[in-house]
Structure 1
Amino acid sequence: MISEPVQYLRSIKSVRETTSQVFQFAVDRQGGNFFELDLSKMPAVADFLCDIIERDYGSDYAKIPPHGRWQHLNYGSQPRVEDLTQQWIDAGGDEIEIARKLIDLFVLSVLVDAGAGNVWTYTIPGSSKESPQRVGRSEGLAVASYYLFVEGQYSSDSKDSHKVCGAALQNLKLEDFTQGFQISDSNPMDGTEGRLKLLQRLGSALCSNTEIFGPEGRPGGIVDFLHGKSRAKGDNPNVIDLEDVWNALMTGLSSIWPAGRAVVDGEPLGDVWKLDTKADAAASGYNKFSTPAGVPSDLVTFHKLTQWLCYSLLVPLERYGYKFTIENKELQTGLPEYRNGGLFYDFGVLKLKPEAMARGLQLCKELGKSSGLPTFEPQDGAIVEWRCLTIGLLDYLLPIVNEKLGFQLGLPQLIEAGSWKAGREIAAQLRPSTSGPPIELHSDGTVF
């Protein structure tokens, strides 16, 4: 029986509740324990975002898609996902199976999406539709995962290569992974072995949770599981709640996260971290939520890859197969990753305090990095606080941008059209040699 504290710390609502305490604590003190906070710089951030939105969408804000992996898979304005889906339709594919295949692809692609570093790139193979080109970072990982999926690298079904099967992932070898992602001494990827182990653990989780992922142990099995949770409401025959999707992912994938992170009542929690700023905020009376007894006061929850999965899976779940209507999508938060967080740092909204800066520069030196940028490990308070403040700042930014636009964007649209893209563009302006973030993460390949 899972304890109440563990249930809470794995919940989607805990993300905004735990991180907002840190954010409000920092707002009232012009900073937390690791960062200074200057909200007077936020209008400049909003102006930069609005300029990007106007450039890319004009005033047709309704066309802005929600943030998701779909756009990354279609890097370079190539409709890879649509073309593949049409291929299945033309072959007489069952619509439910098409939904399963899309979920297979998207789950695989999201779970290899931790930061690849400043050096690694993927060379897209030439075809009748596009010329060979090199692409790095999140889009490179997305396109690489697409081609590996299409080539059948993750299927154990001899009659259908376009699947992701748990058995195939369990048996994935390092040499196959490095070859597929074109990793070499001259093209290194951060966290290669951690990323491989994550996929192998994903395979085990898929095979051991057949109630959720079906007898083949496929991510796409969640389509049928969610249909069993659906209900009719008005004219909508298949209504589910965001928490149905969330709980399925958290339950089915809880075993994939690395050891060594937060554990409560003997249960590993995944992307949950200790932060002394959170403990200070709780001691100062900032916990206004009905947190269950037994929840440690120093823990903050992010579940970033699970949230990224949720963001990415919602569109295929809504458009294909059972065409679910999904309620309470607003429970999701902004994503606490380096593009969104880097945006606020590069505009001076956030600034590392001197002690944290010195420690980060020292680790950069010890690791022999040439960037000269402050560098931290994932569990460092500077990284954890940065992620907390990023979530709070995205919520703070949304109404400012909407007022300037005179239109009510949702948070997923703000991230897609604005913050994530703006974080990348300001990084390219300020650090053109790498286009990398202003703070570097010494990553194991499983954290943002």
Structure 2
Amino acid sequence: MTCNSGWHTPVSAGHPAEALLRRDAVRSRCRMVMARSLAGLSPFFTWDEKALPACAEYVAQTIRLNYPDLAVPYHSRWRHFEAGGVDRWGALAARTGLDGDALERARVAIDLVIPSVLLDAGAGPEWHYRDAAGGQRLARSEGLGVASLALFAGGALSADPAKPLRCDADALAGLGSDTLAAAFQVGPANPLVGLDGRLALLQRLGAVMAATPAVFGTPARAGHLLDYLLARAPDGRIAAGLVLETLLRALGPVWPGRLRLQGVSLGDCWAHPAMEDGLLPFHKLTQWLTYSLLEPLEWAGLTVTGLDELTGLPEYRNGGLLLDFALIRPRDPAFWSHRWTVDAPAIVEWRALTVIGLDRIAEAVRGELGLDEAAFPLARVLEGGTWSAGRRVAAQRRPGGGPPISLVSDGTVF
């Protein structure tokens, strides 16, 4: 993909960052880390293939518990909007008349899901959200999702009071901490990890959107991403990899304090000694956003192809599952008690092993379920699935269901 005018940070053909902002960069580089671990060369971990069958059986059991008919939806933010069995998005769309215009409904869905996904890093064990409409007390990802939907539905992300269901660059740039804290019900007795980081991320999103009219139009609106993608799908089909690469280039400058290469932010990409150039990308939140765009794009009439070009998401639920089942075994017992930052080489390696481990688990799970890759792509294995199994085993093993290791979060990675 060649980026010319109309982009905040163009990435031209031949730029050294181009190889790290591609659909195949995550899996191919993570395979190198796995190969090193399998060869016994990792100073941090060993991989125990003998533990795979028990883990796959547990994941398959979790899928059957969650979806007895095996009709598993995509792993996406939309599942969190349905927390507790309440279809909040459907109710909003019906109440506001969106169901009568498929394209505008899809634009509004994108307006909602882009900022919502960016807000979906670990909330911490003490935070919760009380959903008055559903009468529920929600924590972690479900709470964050429902809170972000309420923030959006209230018009806080729109620059036009007459059109509240939008995500406009001008509104994001002017978003205040009081507004965000109130929407997420944050207070001394209900602290949210990384609130300031989340606010800065949304404000930065507004600045980047405004500086990227090629994708977000003028005035800049998140939902205009749909029009950009429709123009690149003349036959009604679009590759998931193209969606991801568009987001990596359009939203890459949003991420704060990350590695840069000749002026280009590399996003969720970290230093690791196994790489010849020392760089290992994951693009976790951007891939999570790509998964979360599948449904809005389908509502707009597009067919998204090549889903398994995307990878599993290396975060603490999926990665915790592999640690809890001892597929990934730390060499140093102190690993369990240390408080880790996201850029620590051991954490970077854990995430890389998680990416490839999820591919291996997915293949074994399909065998358990008697399904092939076409019928049960990775996006369904994750949802059914490894993410749910990671949460389930965490709840069985630790009070509060936290991850097996301690992570320092600024609200933009985990």
Say yes or no: TM over 0.5: yes
- Separation in structure 2 between the aligned mates of residue 314 and residue 92 of structure 1, nearest angstrom: 18
Q: Shift of the alpha carbon at 1:307?
A: 0.2
Counterparts of 2:297 and 2:93 in 1: how far apart (Å)? 14
| Residue 219 (structure 1) aligned with residue 222 (structure 2) | yes
Deviations 1:286-326 (A, max 9, x none): xxxxxxxxxx1x211101111000000011101x23x1112
5 Å-filtered alignment, 1:124-273, equals: 124-125=131-132, 127=133, 130-131=134-135, 133-232=136-235, 238-259=236-257, 261-273=258-270
Query: Is contact 2:241-2:310 (8 Å) kept?
Result: no
1:411 matches 2:409: no
Residue of structure 2 equivalent to 1:314: 294
- Over residues 313-355 of structure 1, what are the superposed CA-to-partner deviations in whole Å (9 max), with x where a residue is unaligned? 011101x23x11122222100001100000011111122221x
Q: CA deviation at 1:93?
A: 4.5
Q: In 1, Cα distance between the equivalents of 2:246 and 2:63?
A: 34
Q: Quick one: which amino acid aligns to residue 338 of structure 2?
A: P
Instruction: Note the C-alpha offset of 1:405.
Output: 1.2
Could you tell me which of 297, 315, 327 is aligned with 2:305? 327
Shift of 1:265: 2.2
After TM superposition, give the deviation of residue 208 of structure 1 in Å.
1.4
Mapped partners of 1:101, 1:240: distance in 2: 20
Maintained 8 Å contact 2:311/2:355: yes
Equivalent positions of 1:10-409 (< 5 A) are: 10-29=21-40, 32-58=42-68, 60-61=69-70, 63-89=71-97, 93-125=100-132, 127=133, 130-131=134-135, 133-232=136-235, 238-259=236-257, 261-276=258-273, 278-279=274-275, 296=277, 298-318=278-298, 320-321=299-300, 323-354=301-332, 357-358=333-334, 373-408=337-372, 409=376
**Deviations 1:94-126 (Å, cap 9, x if unpaired)?**
32111100001111110000111111111111x
- Cα deviation, residue 155, structure 1: 0.8
Are 2:402 and 1:446 aligned? no
C-alpha distance 187-398 of structure 1, shift in aligned 2 (>3 A): same
1:430 is the counterpart of 2:390: no
Distance 2:329 2:187 in 1: 35
Q: Which runs of 5+ in 2 are unaligned?
A: 1-10
- Cα distance in structure 2, aligned partners of 1:383 and 1:64: 30
Shift of residue 191, structure 1, vs aligned partner: 1.3
Q: CA deviation at 1:227?
A: 1.3
Contact 1:222/1:248 (<8 A) preserved: no
The 2-side partners of 1:190 and 1:403 are apart by 39
* Alpha-carbon contact 2:155-2:165 (below 8 Å) kept: yes
Asked if the contact 2:29–2:280 (Cα under 8 Å) also holds between the matched residues in 1, the reply is yes
SS at match of 2:149: helix
Q: Highest CA radius of gyration, 1 or 2?
A: 1
Tell me, yes or no, if the aligned pair for 2:33 and 2:353 is still in contact at 8 Å.
Answer: yes
Identical-pair percentage: 39
Count of residues in correspondence between the two structures: 400
Question: 1:65: Cα distance to partner?
Answer: 0.8
Q: Which amino acid aligns with 1:64?
A: V
Task: Please report the RMSD computed on the Cα atoms of aligned residues, expressed in angstroms.
Answer: 1.6
Shifted more, 139-148 versus 402-411: the winner is 402-411
Q: Give per-residue Cα distances to partners, 1:127-155, cap 9 Å, x unaligned.
A: 3xx32x22111111001001111111111
- Please give the alpha-carbon distance, in whole angstroms, between the structure 2 residues aligned to 1:402 and 1:437: 26
| Residues in 2 aligned to 1:414 and 1:22: alpha-carbon distance in whole angstroms | 23
Letter in 1 for 2:220: G
Q: Are the equivalent residues in 2 in contact too, given 1:340–1:390 (CA < 8 A)?
A: yes
Q: Find the counterpart in structure 2 of residue 370 from structure 1.
A: none
SS in 2 for 1:229: coil
1-structure distance, mates of 2:238, 2:385? 29
Q: Which amino acid aligns with 1:417?
A: G
- The answer (yes or no) to whether the contact 1:68–1:308 under 8 Å persists in 2 is yes
Q: 1:92, CA displacement in angstroms?
A: 7.0
Contact 1:378 1:441 in 2 (8 A): yes
1:200-252 Cα offsets, whole Å, 9 max, x none, are: 000111111122112231111011111111122xxxxx222223312321222
1:307–1:332 contact (8 Å) kept in structure 2 = yes
CA contact (8 A) 1:68 1:312 kept: yes
**Any stretches of 5+ residues in structure 1 without a counterpart?**
233-237, 283-295, 362-372
Question: Do 1:155 and 1:161's aligned partners in 2 also have CA atoms closer than 8 Å?
Answer: yes
> Is the CA contact (8 Å cut-off) linking 1:341 and 1:390 kept in structure 2?
yes
Conserved 8 A contact 2:320-2:390:
yes
CA distance in structure 1 between the partners assigned to 2:64 and 2:244 by the alignment: 33
